[in-house]
Amino acid sequence: MEEKELIAEAASIIGRSRRLVAFSGAGVSEESGIPTFRDPGGLWDRFDPMELGGGDIFTSIFSGAGIPQAAVDFITEMMTVLERAQPNPGHYALGELEQLGILKSVVTQNIDNLHREGGNTRVIEVHGNLFRLACMACGNKVLLGREELFAMGRELAELMAKGDLEGVIKLASRCPACGGACRPDVVGFGEPVQDMGLAMAEARDCDALLILGTSGMVYPAAYIPEHAKKTGAKLVEINATGCYFPDLVDVGIVGKTGEILPPIVERVKDIKSFNIF
Ligand code: NAD
């Protein structure tokens, strides 16, 4: 099928849906300038996760392992790209689908907050959110505004570059409940995912699932499409490099989410305005 026909097919599934859910990965934010993990030139091409404390830089640093140069480079790069990143047309298209009363929730593996900034209000972040801190002493969660996060990020990168571990600990010690040291509330390798029960319930209850910009390599999040399929949902996948759930999807579109989602939403609006369903 040609792209135009696939877009029409996807819009038809979305237009009929009563409980649409989106499941997203790093690819959705690629057009916002945030590198993915596994694409050529992606983060894991350039950084060894094991050198980054198994991906969990902060627990590793605070446990006295010191500050590896790779961690300084990683934090500096991530803070620079995340500070510049704005929602792209793919994020806004999902925001519009929610405003139209069609999209019920977004289950995302991303930690960049861009789905919320793009207009989605029910966002289940199974790998956490960088704009939130978690106290390592009492578990209290602290929300950060954009400016606060990036001011802190810049200071953190400078302290890490100087190897100033004491300064890093002082900067992190900001829990309003107990004064304890906080780390970003994101999920590192080997750590339990967040709100997975909620995410699975969304998958179970949806009648259509959009699978967007994910390689489906990270479990347990990658079970979500299978779970939705088992309970009878229609599946639409959009990915820039291919189809990663070939045995499950009803419609697979190879293309960028920022380019494919907006015309799908326009088509859905046409369908709704003509009350075709
Ligand atoms: P991944 O890097 O394994 O896969 C990304 C997928 O997106 C690839 O299949 C790629 O082909 C596709 N892609 C790239 N650009 C695209 C575009 N413009 N439109 C559509 N598809 C595109 O990412 P993953 O499956 O999400 O798993 C990696 C883990 O990395 C996740 O757990 C996530 O937490 C984390 N991560 C998050 C961010 C972020 O918050 N933005 C960035 C990098 C990694």
Verify whether ligand 1 is closer than 6 Å to residue 25 (CB atom). Answer: yes
The pTM for the full model equals: 0.92
The residues near 243 (Cβ < 8 Å, ≥ 6 apart) are 237, 249, 252, 254
Q: According to the per-residue pLDDT averaged within each range, which of 34-38, 183-187, 198-202 is highest?
A: 198-202
Q: Is 127 a catalytic residue?
A: yes
Calculate the dihedral angle through the C-alpha atoms of 20, 21, 27, 33, rounding to the nearest 10 degrees: 90
Query: For 109-213, where are the E strands, in sequence order?
Result: 123-125, 128-135, 141-143, 182-186, 208-212
37, 52, 249, 264, best to mutate for ligand 1 pocket (most atoms within 8 Å of CB): 37
What string of DSSP letters covers 222-237? GGHHHHHHHTT-EEEE
Q: Above 60 in pLDDT, residue 132?
A: yes
Tokens of 176: 């309003």
| Ligand 1 pocket, residue 118 CB under 6 Å | no
Please provide residue 102's backbone torsions phi and psi, each rounded to the nearest 5 degrees. -100, -45
Q: How far is the CA of 273 from the centre of ligand 1 (A)?
A: 34
Question: pLDDT by residue (tens digit) across 93-114?
Answer: 999 999 999 999 999 999 999 9
> What mean pLDDT do residues 71-90 have?
90
Q: Is the pLDDT of residue 243 over 90?
A: yes
Over residues 210-221, the mean pLDDT reads 95
The residue among 169, 218, 132, 163 whose CA lies nearest residue 58 is 169
Name residue 164's amino acid: D
Is there an atom of ligand 1 within 6 Å of 259 CB? no
